[in-house]
Amino acid sequence: MYATGKHSLDTLRKCIQAEFGKTINRSYLHTILLNPVYIGTFVWGGIQYRGSYEQFVSAQLFETVQAVIHGHNKGKYSKHDIAFRGMMTCAHDNLTVTAEFIKGKYVYYRCSGYHGKCALPRFREEQISEKLGDVLKGICIPDDVAARISSALQHDQENIKKNSNAERERLSKRIEALRVRMSQAYADKLDGKISEDFWQRQMSQWQAEEQQVKQLLEVTEQSKEDRVLSARKTLELANVAYSLYLTRKPAEQAELLKKVPLNCSIDAVSITPTYRKPFDMIFERAKTKKWSGWADLNCRPLAPQASALPG
C-alpha cells in the first residue's frame, strides 16, 4: 500500500487499524518499512548478511518503498502520470530507477539510491523516452526479410490447417469407434454374453480413452495454428514498433515497451535492454544480420502430438 505513493505514515496507520484492529506507533511503522529483513537480509556489526529464512517481499517492492519513504513520492501524482517508472534499473548498483516531479510539472528519473549517493545522473522524461525508443530500433526487421518470413508463415499455416483437419477426422473416428464398442458391450451384457464385472472394467477403460481423445481433439483445434498466429503478431509488432512509438505519448509508449523488453539497465550514456522472448532472438539476428529460418520466432512449447495416441 505504501509503495503506491498514495499514503503517508499516518494514513497507512489508519488503514492498518481499520483492517486489522491493530495500532502501530508511527516511528515503529517507519522502522518496519526501512527494515531489509523482509527481503531476506539483515545487518550485523555493520555488515549485511543473507538470512536463511523465507523472503517476505520482493526486492523491487522494497526498493520502491524506500524511494517513497525518502520523500520522492508524496502522493502528488498517480502511478499513471509516471510513464516509465519501474521499467529500468541503474547500471551502477542494480537498483530500480524511480521518478519524481520537479516544480509540480517536470518529470525526472533517477536511481532510487537507498544504498547511498549514486553516479547515475537525473534524466528528463523526454531523454528517457528517446533512449527507450532505441530499444525498439534494435528489433526492426528489414522489409525484404519480413516479406520472406510472412510468406513462409502463410505457407506453414496452410499446411498446419490441412494436417489439423486430417488429425481431427482421425480422432473423431476414434471416438465414434469407441462409442460403438461401448454400445455393443452393453448389449452383450444385457444378453448375458459377458459378465457385469467384465463390462464395468471395459467401460472404465473405454471411457478413459474417450476422454483422452477428446482432450487431444481440443488441443488439435488450436495449438499449432496458434503458434503461427503468435509468430505473425510478433513479426508485425517488431516491424512497426519503433514507428508506432514515435507517434505515441509517454504513457502509450510505456504500454508498447512492456511487450518487448523485460528490463533495461541505464547508465549516464546508454541503455541496455534485456528482451523478452522471442524479441531476444530477433535482436540477435538484427545485430548479426543472419535471417535464415523463421520458426524460432515463436518459443512457445509445442502441444502434445495427437498422433502419439495408440491406434
Predicted pLDDT of residue 228: 54
Residue in the block written with cell 472394467: 201
pLDDT single digits (tens) 155-187: 666 777 777 788 888 888 999 999 999 999 889
Q: Is residue 26 part of a domain?
A: yes
Between CA 122 and CA 89 the distance in angstroms is 13
What is the domain-level CATH number for residue 28?
3.90.1750.20
Residues of the chain with pLDDT under 50: 72-80, 295-296, 298-311
Q: Is residue 102 part of a domain?
A: no
The reply to whether 161 and 298 lie within a common domain is yes
Q: Is 274 helix (H, G, I), strand (E, B) or coil?
A: strand
Residue in the block written with cell 460403438: 180
Between CA 47 and CA 49 the distance in angstroms is 6
Asked which of 15, 38, 68 is the last residue of a domain, the reply is: 68
Asked which of 45, 68, 91 is the last residue of a domain, the reply is: 68
The reply to whether 149 and 28 lie within a common domain is no
HEC readout, 226-275: HHHHHHHHHHHHHHHHHHHHHCCCHHHHHHHHCCCEEEEEECCCCEEEEE
- Residues 98/274, Cβ–Cβ less than 8 Å: no
The reply to whether 289 and 175 lie within a common domain is yes
Cell of 281: 532472438
- The H-or-E segment that residue 59 falls in is helix 59-67
Cell of 139: 528489433
With the C-alpha atoms ordered 131, 133, 135, 140, is the resulting torsion angle positive or negative? negative
Q: Is residue 112 part of a domain?
A: no
The reply to whether 249 and 165 lie within a common domain is yes
Q: Is residue 255 part of a domain?
A: yes
pTM for the model: 0.47
* Percentage of residues of the chain with pLDDT beyond 70: 78
DSSP 96: B
Strands (E), 93-165: 97-102, 106-111, 123-124
User: How many structural domains are present in the chain?
Assistant: 2
Q: Specify the amino acid at residue 120.
A: L
The reply to whether 45 and 157 lie within a common domain is no
Asked which of 68, 91, 114 is the last residue of a domain, the reply is: 68
β pairing state of 123-124 and 47-50:
unpaired
Helices (H), 121-195: 125-137, 143-190
Predicted pLDDT of residue 299: 40
The reply to whether 167 and 30 lie within a common domain is no
Q: Is residue 254 part of a domain?
A: yes
Q: Is residue 125 part of a domain?
A: no
Q: Is residue 271 part of a domain?
A: yes
Which residues form the domain of 19? 1-68
pLDDT single digits (tens) 63-90: 778 777 765 444 444 444 688 888 899 9
